DNA sequence: CTAAACTTTCAAAACTTATTGAAAGTTTAG
DNA sequence: CTAAACTTTCAATAAGTTTTGAAAGTTTAG
């Protein structure tokens, strides 16, 4: 395979991957493009390489900035904005984890907390079963939230090291 | 809040959650319904409680069985099939992890492996950068795959225990 | 200040994914 | 074997999501 095909395939792969994890396909493709580009790219570059409209390119670049995965960069003597990606993959993983935690895990914990405030007594067997289920979800989700915090703070080697130990 | 409202909200919550993680909303709602139901439910029960068609109910129940999250159960003197969910939440988390690993992480690793087989030499700086990127993704993804294996095999307490230690 | 260069917005259109429901298929009691 | 009870399929349709592109907005060089 030629490098140019491999890059194309990589972009497709990253896009499909994003799709199946609830991330907009084009956003993931733009990310892929910047990950494997040596030079920062402008909005026009992205439009051209992915054959997408200006609006679409702009919106996905903005979203990627909100996810903290890419940065604006200015070239001397050029008014255009260029974008470059964070290239340390462990750092990328941590930032995605951090963002999903903030957007999804934390609201989930809040919603679960409100569900245990039902009026019925624990003595009502139906209420009891429901509370047990919600509480056990709270328990696992809270632990996962803490696990993500650890991941966000840990060094790559420490994090995977601790997990590898469990295999022994 | 009344129990009945709380159950309704729980179903909505689980559905929205599934949606944002690339899982069909209705499938997640059916799962929620069975998680908080004391009795096994029939296809008709699901149709009625979620106001969905027979085809939709059937398809999502079948999918949930493929994910190993629910089981068929037969009641004596009744030809209908009833369904009940695995209710141990740690077990549910492990099964979802196992299934996503099988469906997504493993094909991803295979695709990445094929991308490093480019014709260009590592001495070409562009090829070099590309290979470094793909290899660093392989590295992190492979470790995550191993981490998921550990999660699948570990006891809940051991798994989270190891992670908590990292916080100290 | 002005106009050119560039970025952002957003309503309409295209595309993707999920749902319906009637028809076909299967199972079982009698 | 037969017909009733139940489950599955799938083409048409609906719902949801993403994309387009022209217009509005913003910035900067001169």
pLDDT in tens, B115-138: 999 999 999 999 999 999 999 999
Alpha-carbon gap: B37 to the closest alpha carbon of chain A (Å) = 8
CB-nearest partner of B6 from A89, A118, A149: A118
Six-digit token string for B69: 């999250």
Whether residue A19 is predicted with pLDDT greater than 80 in this model: the reply is yes
Nucleic strand C under 7 Å from the C-beta of B53: yes
Residue of B162, B164, B168 to mutate, testing the A interface (most A Cβ within 10 Å of its Cβ)? B162
The pTM is what?
A: 0.94
| B148 has a chain A CB within 8 A of its CB | no
> What b/e string do you get for B126-164 counting C-beta neighbours within 10 Å, with b at 16 or more?
ebeebbebbebbbebbebbeebbbbbeebebeebbebbe
How much is the pLDDT for A165? Answer: 86
Which of A2, A129, A134 comes nearest B10 by C-beta?
A: A134
Q: Contact at 8 Å (CB) between A142 and B163?
A: no
Instruction: Average the pLDDT over B2-14 and give the result.
Output: 97
Examine the pLDDT at A168 and tell me if it is beyond 80: no
B158 contact residues in A (CB cutoff 8 A) = 166
Q: Is B143 on the interface with A (CB under 8 A)?
A: yes
Lowest model confidence (mean pLDDT) among A31-45, A52-66, A128-142, B154-168 = B154-168
Closest residue by Cα to residue A153 from B168, B95, B63, B83: B168
Determine phi and psi for A11, rounding to 5 degrees: -60, -45
Torsion, CA B92, CA B112, CA A91, CA A85, rounded to 10: -130
Q: Answer whether any strand C atom is within 7 A of the Cβ of A80.
A: yes
What is the pLDDT averaged over residues B40-68? 97
Res. B168: pLDDT tops 80: no
pLDDT over 90 at B153, yes or no: yes
Give yes or no for residue B167 having a pLDDT over 80: no
What's the CA gap between B138 and B132, in Å, rounded?
10
């Amino acid at each position: 395979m030629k490098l140019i095909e491999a890059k194309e395939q990589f972009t497709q792969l990253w896009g499909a991957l994003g799709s199946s994890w609830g991330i907009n396909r084009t956003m993931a493709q733009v990310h892929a493009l910047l990950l494997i580009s040596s030079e920062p790219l402008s909005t026009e570059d992205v439009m051209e390489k992915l054959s997408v409209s200006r609006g679409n390119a702009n919106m996905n670049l903005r979203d990627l900035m909100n996810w903290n995965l890419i940065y604006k960069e200015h070239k001397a003597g050029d008014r255009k904005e260029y974008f470059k990606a964070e290239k340390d993959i462990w750092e990328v993983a941590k930032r995605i984890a951090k963002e999903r935690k903030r957007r999804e895990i934390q609201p989930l914990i809040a919603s679960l907390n409100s569900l245990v405030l039902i009026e019925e007594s624990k003595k009502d067997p139906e209420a009891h079963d429901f509370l047990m289920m919600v509480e056990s979800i709270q328990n696992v989700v809270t632990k996962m939230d803490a696990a993500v915090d650890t991941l966000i703070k840990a060094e790559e080697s420490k994090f995977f090291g601790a997990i590898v130990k469990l295999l022994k």
